[in-house]
Structure 1
């Protein structure tokens, strides 16, 4: 994930701006855990998601609101930035585009597939891989064409989300009952049983891609255009653009998103996929502005966030694995044991895992320039290219 754009970042951006992007990426990765942690800590696992929505508590609803969808959208925007940097790098070197970038996307899809089966039902990497293959053919087109794609896809996405929301609200009004059965797979089931359930329910769990891919097309392209507009520059132009993003995202999007969070389960799709991208734009502007204003030696928090941002793929996968080992029945089973302390223990679990990975990432980067999965990914990416270079030499 982070390795996809790092080489281009080093070539194109100043050190100060590299730091801002790494901090943003670290914030996004930890923010996605802030959403996922509510799944891991539910004794019913993923099956408990909609049960919690139908019987929300005020405190838990507010805590979920803080992260739900916002950091998924922020991470999606940053993928668009990385894609823009890869495109610039290819143009600068004079290599065909999308060319080998499609191999990157295929590797990302394979990583996501493994992550889904072995660790977590709601993996986003597969959807990102599909999105990147589509956007790779759009990113180099004219601003007018890109704008048309963003408006077209975004309008259809908003319309479909609105219609589905209306149907859900009508279903509530008609008194539709939800399944109240309690799954014990994640509190009592073995690891092998959970993997088997992911295989069996592949289509069901992958339905989220129906929303992530069109949202991703818009946000990938928007991230690319924000990069071109100077949103990450430490300049007057960049500062002015970031102020607009903060006013729009935090001033307008955040209050609306708060309302939908407390409006009930019928508003789930709007609350997760439609309004959070607006808030993410505000967060992008805020975090980048703060990162540029901080001077001097970075403190522990910024060093930790930067380390997580530089090892983003590794932290995303392994933090989900650690959360599963802590919470599920095949591990320590804390979800069942501490259910009586919900929701209070959940933010503490999130903070503990974040602190662990800020520390581990910082220690790892003392000896390596990439995270462990990033190193493996880079080897897999280079392997066929090395084969093409050595094959003619062997023939001679």
Structure 2
């Protein structure tokens, strides 16, 4: 199996995860400012379908991407983590700008910090990595379990995705609120670092085990991943979602990552089963995946313009049409991203944010290269 095939499958997986993540965030963008009644059954089910699952897929694939960067550095005889830490720092800066200017629930900052930690672990022995996965995973389970036990003991409900409203006011009001209240809006990014470490390392090892290979061993691994992730994750997901609001943390941070692993196996299996069969959906998902960073930031900007009061204000104007207009908004933004990414990649090799990131990453390295030989510093 060729490397190109693996990367192509990874592009589709990224595209699915990016658009699926919008499926979670769209409920935040479309929330109505001020008191609102409890969501109806249809809205609860629709939110359940995306809550945390595709973000979990994206987290696993970040681990795969880190593994590819590690392998590339080894092939070129480069010191590791070395310049990768600068790459992670650039992601942290981009995430900070995204958080302040566009969306308070940015994930890039958390990924950047996690990748800095995992960069020192990814090259260790399989035994050491399994130990780290077990320790970080157990720490995360104990944390979620402990907080959930306190909720049952002393009352109160954990907030679910439908309880998380957008910041009201003008764009400037939103920016100032994010600046003034980082502890409120960044607590999740810190809260899930142990889970992120475990999932990054799991993604790395799944890649090494042949997850993306169109081979017998890859097929066996995907089958086991689907059986474990979907078989165990979906029942837990259903119970945590609908049995009691106090289980909201179990739903988002324990059940959803399990389902995400199963979805990773399922989508990869479908990609290989369909082969290289062309089609607009496949092309669109691939191109969104190739421009994943740009698409992630752009989809949140578009949703803000459509939904917030400083934009078109559709969240308020179409409040009575929930939840179906929300589904339509998600589908429309997804279609737009697929079209825009396809048109962009006809003229450029990378998405706009990817190109800016590459320039910022390569510029200082080119200056340090002997004789300005760019070939020696290519990534």
Q: Which residue pairs with 1:307 in the alignment?
A: 287
The RMSD of aligned alpha carbons is 2.3
Residues 1:145 and 2:128 are matched in the alignment = yes
Q: Which residue pairs with 1:22 in the alignment?
A: 11
Q: Which residue pairs with 1:70 in the alignment?
A: 53
Task: From 211, 224, 230, give the equivalent of 1:231.
Answer: 211
Q: Which residue pairs with 2:119 in the alignment?
A: 136
Distance 1:185 1:156, change over 3 A: closer
8 Å CA contact 1:304–1:361 kept in 2: the answer is: yes
Matches within 5 A, 1:209-288: 209-288=189-268
DSSP-derived class of the 2:369 partner: helix
Q: Which residue pairs with 2:356 in the alignment?
A: 376
DSSP-derived class of the 1:275 partner: helix
Distance 1:293 1:183, change over 3 A: closer
- Measure the CA separation in 1 of the matches of 2:165 and 2:239: 30
Distance 1:377 1:182, change over 3 A: closer
Task: From 64, 67, 73, give the equivalent of 1:84.
Answer: 67
- Measure the CA separation in 2 of the matches of 1:33 and 1:185: 17
- Measure the CA separation in 2 of the matches of 1:30 and 1:320: 11
Q: Which runs of 5+ in 1 are unaligned?
A: 1-11
Q: Which residue pairs with 1:110 in the alignment?
A: 93
8 Å CA contact 1:62–1:261 kept in 2: the answer is: no
- Measure the CA separation in 2 of the matches of 1:379 and 1:31: 29
Q: Which runs of 5+ in 2 are unaligned?
A: 374-379
TM-score between the two structures when normalised by the length of structure 2: 0.93
Q: CA deviation at 1:295?
A: 3.0
Q: CA deviation at 1:43?
A: 1.9
Task: From 317, 321, 346, give the equivalent of 1:337.
Answer: 317
Task: From 294, 298, 313, give the equivalent of 1:318.
Answer: 298
- Measure the CA separation in 1 of the matches of 2:354 and 2:272: 26
- Measure the CA separation in 1 of the matches of 2:258 and 2:237: 9
Task: From 121, 129, 137, give the equivalent of 1:154.
Answer: 137
Deviations 1:345-393 (A, max 9, x none): 1111000000000000011010111100000000000111122237999
Q: CA deviation at 1:200?
A: 1.0
- Measure the CA separation in 1 of the matches of 2:273 and 2:67: 25
Between stretches 249-258 and 192-201, larger displacement belongs to 249-258
Task: From 56, 68, 76, give the equivalent of 1:93.
Answer: 76
DSSP-derived class of the 1:43 partner: coil
Q: CA deviation at 1:58?
A: 1.4
Number of paired residues? 370
Distance 1:176 1:17, change over 3 A: closer
DSSP-derived class of the 2:311 partner: coil
- Measure the CA separation in 1 of the matches of 2:318 and 2:187: 30
8 Å CA contact 1:128–1:216 kept in 2: the answer is: yes
Q: CA deviation at 1:57?
A: 2.2
DSSP-derived class of the 2:219 partner: helix
Between stretches 292-301 and 238-247, larger displacement belongs to 292-301
Q: Which residue pairs with 1:5 in the alignment?
A: none
- Measure the CA separation in 1 of the matches of 2:57 and 2:165: 32
